[in-house]
Structure formats: structure tokens, C-alpha cells
Amino acid sequence: MRERWFGATGRRVPEIVVEGDPAVPLDEALVLDDVRDADRLREAHDRGTPVVIRAASAAAVQAALARPEVASVVVPRSAASLLELDLTELTYGRKPVSTYSIVACDLDAGQWGVAVQSKFLAVGAIVPWAEPQAGAIATQSYANPRYGPDGLALLREGRSAQEVLDQLVAADDERTHRQAGIVDANGGSATYTGAECMDWAGGRTGSGYAAQGNILVSGETVDALADTFEATAGKPLADRLLQCLDAAQAAGGDRRGQQSAALLVVEKDAGYAGLSDSLVDLRADEHEQPITDLRRMFEIHRLLFFQTPRAEWLDVDDAVAAELKDRLGRLGYEGDLKQAFESWAGTENLEERVDGVESVDPVVLDELRKMTA
């Protein structure tokens, strides 16, 4: 019987039991009749409270076990036959997340991230996990999504990538089907490929990264991930990860083809308005060329949300002010310059790059010039 962590108690319990089984102490858990209240599930998980779901059908068991916050499912004695379900197939299906990924960090920048491509729908919903000052994780093949939150919790305690991976794998009855890569808070890395992952499957680690893949054309795909990461030292982490995906695809990639890709980079308080840790969180969920589409979205993201150092901003003297007023007027934004400028920037989602009209981000000025050329 597979087990899951019982909240933050440090104990593991069976994934499914009959009502009354003392292996799952209901008095210590939040017990619900379904998983429809996602906010309540997440809040309980964040507090470390075990979540137990009552279920009386295979569909209800499947819905419950698909949620990483759920510790166990309790079924009535009249439905005890549900304990005989193939939980691996029920929860994850029999379609592996055939994937190549790289998990990496830039300690100087305080960033951790994951880039992934797969012949699988919306791979970004399953594979990548990251938390600033803790680490990053990729979970794939017949992916166990619980490696994400459970692994981050262990990394948060200061454990090394290898220690975390060893603990996750040791507790997983389906470990031979799993593949995962982890980078910890100090840049330590680890990768794991189960013996029953489909060929070609394997991984490679180095300082600050773990690269891995399964159902690949060859091992050259993983080598391309690793070699490219090592060769691009000094560049921003998001750019390096995208270059890794490009190189891996050029080396052969997933032997079944392409379908989706994702890029996740975290940094403390570096997300939108300084109120999020997600510096980049982009997904091409279904596309004939997902890496190309991911890069397209990343360039838009860079335009809208990345920051130009203040020392590089341009002073708005009389000439620049006149130009701004003229170009804004052509777009229908007239009147007070500050109001017109901020109104236009808000319409174009560039407000994160605007701070009054005493100086202007050159990226914003260039975008205004392009729109009024």
C-alpha cells in the first residue's frame, strides 16, 4: 500500500483505508467529503494540517488522490473493494510524462528555476516546483506530483538535494517508474531515474544544476542541457534555461515529439509589484513548437515586468517631455503629461516600468516609439 505524509506530523499513512482504521487518525486531520474547496485544502496544507477525504466511488478516490494536499482517503466498509484499485494508474494514468528538464540555480542572484519540454499536455502543471532560498524540483516520467510540495518542505529544513531525493524515492512504492531532479539552497544537485523509466532515460548533475529526461532520442539531449548550462555562466538564469531547452531539442529531444513547455524562475519578492516570488512563470500548454512559443511569451514578459537599473533611465528634459507628449497625443492620450503617460502605460501593462515623469525607462520609451513610428 502506498503511503503519503500525514501533514506536518512527520508520519506517513496509507493513501486509502476503510473508515475506522487507526492507521489514519481522523481526530488529527481536517476531514472533508470532497475536494471542491481548493482554498481550504491549500490553507490546511500550508498550516501542516493533514487532510483526509471521505469517498465512496473510484471517481471520488481519483479526485482526492489527484490533490497533493490530501494525505489519505477514507472509504466506507460497504466500499472496501476500493482498496484493491490500482492507485498508480488511477491517480496518474498509464501515460508517462515523457520529458526533458533542467533544474538549476543562480546563487549570486538568489534565483532557482526549472525549464521543461514534453510530449504531454500542460507539462508545466506537473513537473516544475521551486521556492526561493529553498531549492527547485522537477518530477517526471510516471510523475509523482507530491515530490513537489513534499520535497520543498524538506529543502526548507535545510536538507541537501541528495538527502531529499533519497527520502522521496525511498518512501515511493512506484519509485522504479519515477524520474526527478533537485537543486538545493546551496547549489547542491541530485538526479534520479527509476529502473523502469522508458529508454532513453537518464540524468546528469553539476554545480548548480540537474538535467534529466526520459523517452528521449538519445542521451545527447541530456548532455545538451548540461553542456549549455555550463557554457552560459554569467547570463541571467531564465535566459540560460531557455537556451538549454533550445539545445536539447536540437540534439533530438523527446522521441515522441513536442507538445508543451514551461519556465519557472523564483526569487524572493521579485515577482509582480514585489508581492510575489515568481520572477517568471510561463507555460506553453499545447503547441506544435512549444519552446518557440515559450520564448515568445518570455520576451513579452521581459518587456512588461523586468527592471532596467535606475542608473540607465533617461532624464525627462524639455526635449524628451515634448516627444512623450507628441507621441502620446497621437495615440489619444492628451492633457497632463504624467496622467497621460501613466494611463498609456497602464493600458499597455507597462506600469511596473513607470515611476512618474521625471525620468523614463528607455525600454518604455522605445516601446512608445515603436507604437507611433
Residues 6+ apart with CB under 8 A from 13: 3, 4, 6, 23, 24, 50, 71, 72
Same domain, 114 and 197: yes
Which residues of the chain, if any, have pLDDT below 50? 92, 94
Phi, psi at residue 369, to the nearest 5°?
-65, -40
Same domain, 170 and 56: no
Domains in the chain, number: 3
Whole-number pLDDT of residue 92: 47
Residue 290: domain span: 99-305
Whole-number pLDDT of residue 255: 82
User: Cell numbers at residue 179, please?
Assistant: 524520474
Among 56, 74, 92, give the residue marking a domain's end: 92
Same domain, 166 and 60: no
pTM, 2 dp:
0.74
Whole-number pLDDT of residue 38: 86
User: Cell numbers at residue 274, please?
Assistant: 514585489
Contact, 61 vs 80, CB < 8 A? Answer: no
Half-sphere exposure of 317 (CA within 13 A, CB side): 2
The CA distance from 23 to 17, in Å, is: 8
Same domain, 34 and 171: no
Same domain, 234 and 144: yes
Among 252, 287, 305, give the residue marking a domain's end: 305
Whole-number pLDDT of residue 138: 98
Same domain, 149 and 268: yes
